Amino acid sequence: MENFVFQNRTKVIFGKDQEQVVGQEAAFFGKKVLLHYGGGSIKKSGLYDTVVESLKEEGVEIVELGGVLPNPRVSLVRDGVNLCKEHQIDSILAVGGGSVIDSAKAIAIGAHYDGDVWDFFDGKAEVTDCLPIGVVLTIPAAGSETSGGSVITNEDGAYKRAVGHDKMRPEFAILNPVLSYTLPSYQTACGVTDMISHILERYFTNEKNVELTDRLCEATLKTIINNAHTVIDEPTNYAARAEIMWAGTIAHNDSLSTGRVGDWGSHDIEHEVSGIYDITHGAGLAIIFPAWMKYVYKHDVNRFVQFANRVWDVEIDLNDLEKTALKGIQKTEQFFSSIGMPVTLSEVDIDDKHFAEMAKKCTEKGPKGNFVPLHEEDVFNIYELAK
């Protein structure tokens, strides 16, 4: 096991009706909040009214910025930064999913910076300060509600890039599984795929003697797999929605990566796809992850055998370990298909036109991934495998 420091300060408030305490929680960080949200799902569900009422009850002044798109854009982030500076905002409240939360985080670091906020995303500036962020989560998926990361798309050049810093972890996150009842099944499935991928990125490590985190990863994966069909077939099943919502946070709050080095190649390879084609991140991962697995499994067949056996209950064939490993990959792919995810680029009408460009952009600052470092040619081959 590697040495590690684990610190995740986000206060998680979980359960039915918990969004009603948002005013109290937000007031703790000041009396002027930027209320940030997406394209309107929160108005349709009534959550917007609940949040506004709760903030007003606590005397919190609201400045609003809605309109965050999935794959959030830097242009809106810049608008948010300007609002924060103009109104001397104390904190940002993100009501929505990963896109809204990531946009809020980018605004929060930009609010204390004199240059252009994109500087953080292309490595020209380091995070030193960040406005406090609160979250009311509406979709379990990205895990951004407790993570220190933000992923933003720059329309200029179709770059989708990430920044991460402990200071960017939200101060509090309200998780009410009931708020996810209104999710369309496709978004639910994309969320499930994303959280599974967050665990797999951590699971495929070169670190030995990480039994506890291996088993925590496997338990979380199994829980997600066991509940995925239920949340899709019965969107108002509280028990299943609750398991999925908490699993989505656990998948990405960094407890599962303690003492081990994760891979993250598949995420970077996917970000190039959603950067250019604007597909949903989870759907992109359902396509890229199995292709990545097929490309790298020979690097550590035993780890893939363990995955096949413990997560997918594949019987180990001691005479043919590769066969067992491949069966685990096949099961992963079949599971993604079974919840309605695409597993090839052609299913989302993406051809090979931009493969070379995406592979080049992905590796322009060096090889990607830690399990097996991938160079431009490898990334290109993975896009080919995902065709």
- Is residue 249 involved in binding ligand NZQ (CB under 6 A)? no
* 307/325 Cα distance (integer angstroms): 8
Query: Is the CB of 194 or the CB of 214 nearer to Zn ion?
Result: 194
Residues 54-113 binding ligand NZQ (CB under 6 A) are 70-71, 96-100, 102
Q: Does 151 bind ligand NZQ (CB under 6 A)?
A: yes
The partner in contact with residue 41, picked from Zn ion, ligand NZQ, none with C-beta cut-offs of 5 to 8 angstroms by kind, is ligand NZQ
Task: Give the nearer residue to ligand NZQ in terms of CB position, either 115 or 184.
Answer: 184
Contact by Cβ (8 Å): 39, 69: yes
Residue 191 is a binding residue for ligand NZQ (CB under 6 A): yes
- 86 alpha carbon, distance to own chain's centre: 30
Measured at the CA of 140, the angle between CA 137 and CA 146, to 5 degrees, comes to 65
Structure tokens at 253: 């709050």
Q: Return the beta strands (E) in the chain as ranges.
A: 11-14, 32-37, 61-65, 91-96, 133-137, 149-154, 159-164, 172-175
Would you say the C-alpha torsion 217, 222, 223, 227 has a positive or negative sign? positive
Question: Which partner from the list Zn ion, ligand NZQ, none does 138 bind, CB cut-off 5 to 8 Å by kind?
Answer: ligand NZQ
Closer to ligand NZQ by CB, 74 or 308: give it. Answer: 74
Nearer to ligand NZQ, 120 or 305 (CB): 120
Contact partner, 80, from Zn ion, ligand NZQ, none, Cβ < 5-8 Å per class: none
**Distance (Å, rounded) from C-alpha 80 to C-alpha 168?**
16
**From the list Zn ion, ligand NZQ, none, partner contacted by residue 39 (C-beta under 5 to 8 A by kind):** ligand NZQ
Q: Do residues 368 and 268 touch, judged by C-beta distance below 8 A?
A: yes
Q: How far apart are CA 253 and CA 6, in angstroms?
A: 10
Smallest distance, Zn ion to C-beta of residue 141, A? 8
Interface characters, 322-361, with ligand NZQ (x: CB under 6 A) = ----------------------------------------
Query: 170-199: which residues touch Zn ion (CB under 5 A)?
Result: 194
Close Cβ partners of 318 (under 8 Å, ≥ 6 residues apart): none
Q: How far is the CB of 116 from ligand NZQ (least distance, A)?
A: 20
- For residue 153, what are its two tokens? 């798309």
User: Is 187 near ligand NZQ (CB under 6 A)?
Assistant: yes
| Residue 248 binds ligand NZQ, judged by CB under 6 A | no
Q: Do 214 and 306 contact (CB within 8 A), yes or no?
A: yes
Q: Which does 257 bind (CB under 5 to 8 A by kind): ligand NZQ, Zn ion, none?
A: none
DSSP state of 88: T
Q: List the beta bridge partners of residue 152.
A: 161
Give the binding site for ligand NZQ (CB under 6 A): 38-42, 70-71, 96-100, 102, 138-139, 141-144, 147, 149-151, 179-180, 182-183, 187, 190-191, 194, 252, 267, 281-282
